[in-house]
Amino acid sequence: MNKQRQVEALAKIEGYNLNPEEVVDWQKPEIWQEKDGNLDFKRNLPDYLTSHDAMQRIVDGLSDEQLNLYFHALVSQEKVGISCWSHVIRATPEQKAEAALKALGKWEESK
């Protein structure tokens, strides 16, 4: 799954939708703020693949069953010689993203 598709899938999980009127813009209605009588919304998606904070919001939304799948997906990325707990604790945002998408059944294998 390429990086752009990962970011888009994670954004949809967090409630962002592609604005059909402006194909390049993403919006999340809950983050609209009124500025001088006009609605303004965040146009940039969170940087899920480099931000631990952005990925923590995704992980916090997982059910207990999904957390179990998330943990196993992280452990399956383990490198030889590294304990599974160490790998889980030191996981990068990109590794967390892959594990979360797999836990939620949203991961697509690259062709």
Largest interatomic CA distance in the chain: 58
DSSP 100: H
Are 77 and 55 contacting, i.e. CB atoms less than 8 angstroms apart? no
Question: Is residue 35 one of the residues assigned to a domain?
Answer: yes
Residue 111 lies in a domain: no
pLDDT tens track for 28-67: 554 444 334 444 444 567 889 999 999 999 999 999 999 9
Within-domain flag for 47: yes
In the block, residue with structure tokens 């998330």: 70
Number of domains in the chain: 1
Q: Which domain holds residue 77?
A: 3-103
Angstrom distance (rounded) from CA 96 to CA 1: 14
Q: How does DSSP classify residue 18?
A: E
Which pLDDT score, from 0 to 100, does residue 110 have?
77
